[in-house]
Amino acid sequence: MDGLLDVCATSAACALGYGATHPLETIKVREMLAPAGVHRSTLALASRIVREEGVPALYAGFSAGLARAVVQGGGRLFFYERCKRALPDRHARSDAGRLLAGTCAGAGAALLGAPIDTVRTVQQSVSRAAGGRGVGSVGGGALDVAARLVREGGVLSLWTGSGAAVARCAVLTAVQCATYDRAKELAAAAAGVRTDDVRAHLAASLLSGVASTTATTPFDNVKTVQMVRRSSALAASRAVWREGGGARGFLRGWWSVYARIAPHTVIMFCSLEWLRAALGAGRRG
């Protein structure tokens, strides 16, 4: 029963976080796929999308994204706690143990959610201002996009970019969760409050957001190019390097990533802590 309650808590927390920040995810995808030499601020890009395509364009791929948040997002947080519980107490509370648990949890959850992630990314890449065509040249609802991808490239095409997606999710979960757990302990000690105090949760979430953004933006760039152009990880990495002006191309879209991850992380972790307490879903470490 504890496991079922925790699945409900993690999935609901990730759904809340994603629902509040989906438009920023769409902006991030467009920014990472912008032609070489085109550099717009996150706000300027958002304004252009709304002006040329309308507000609904910011919610492209929402249904697929929400499903991904429940399956992949909820899964990685659930598996993170389970992986920690599989470790001896002294390792479960260590930074190394938390990083290991996060890596395993993130990789497993990413494999489960990869098909949904591919569909969502392709949907978000399509520009309505260009007649419903984008770099992915695939329009329609989530099921339409999935069906077309399967027709054109087979079932395995739904896992296009899964290598970068798995690496990104493994790094994200390891850095995000381990940083959150450690920062929560430090914040609670510094403020003289318990680790279940909302102030500790808020401070830890904000710090976790910065660390997560910096660690995952390179993987996000490669994954986005792979999924939309359906290329190999190496080809996508070369494209990011070439079109982004060298190494800095891998950090393209950092602010739009942070603008989404920061509020998402705060909402997700604060909601998760509250839901776990309300449902009596225990956690350890």
| Tokens 């920023």 found at | 24
Question: Average pLDDT for residues 215-228, to the nearest whole number?
Answer: 84
pTM: 0.77
Question: Average pLDDT for residues 251-267, to the nearest whole number?
Answer: 87
Q: How far, in Å, CA of 26 to CA of 62, rounded?
A: 9
**Chain-wide mean pLDDT for the chain?**
86
**49-72 confidence digits (pLDDT tens):** 899 999 988 988 898 889 989 999
Domain encompassing residue 29: 2-127+136-279
- Band of pLDDT at residue 97, cut at 50, 70 and 90: very high
Beta-bridge partners for 127: 133
Which helix (H) or strand (E) covers residue 134, if one does? strand 133-134
For position 37, what pLDDT does the model report?
A: 60
Q: What is the CATH number of the domain that holds 47?
A: 1.50.40.10
Contact 160, 223 (CB under 8 A): no
Residue 13 lies in a domain: yes
Residue 76 lies in a domain: yes
Using the predicted structure, report yes or no on whether residue 248 has a pLDDT greater than 80.
Answer: yes
Count the domains in the chain: 1
For position 230, what pLDDT does the model report?
A: 77
Residue 185 lies in a domain: yes
For position 66, what pLDDT does the model report?
A: 92
**109-149 confidence digits (pLDDT tens):** 999 988 988 888 888 776 554 454 444 444 567 888 889 88
Q: What does each C-alpha distance from 142 to 13, 130, 147, 248, 258 come to in angstroms?
A: 23, 19, 9, 32, 26
Residue 126's φ and ψ, nearest 5 degrees, are -80, 125
Residue 285 lies in a domain: no
Which helix (H) or strand (E) covers residue 133, if one does? strand 133-134
Residue 97 lies in a domain: yes
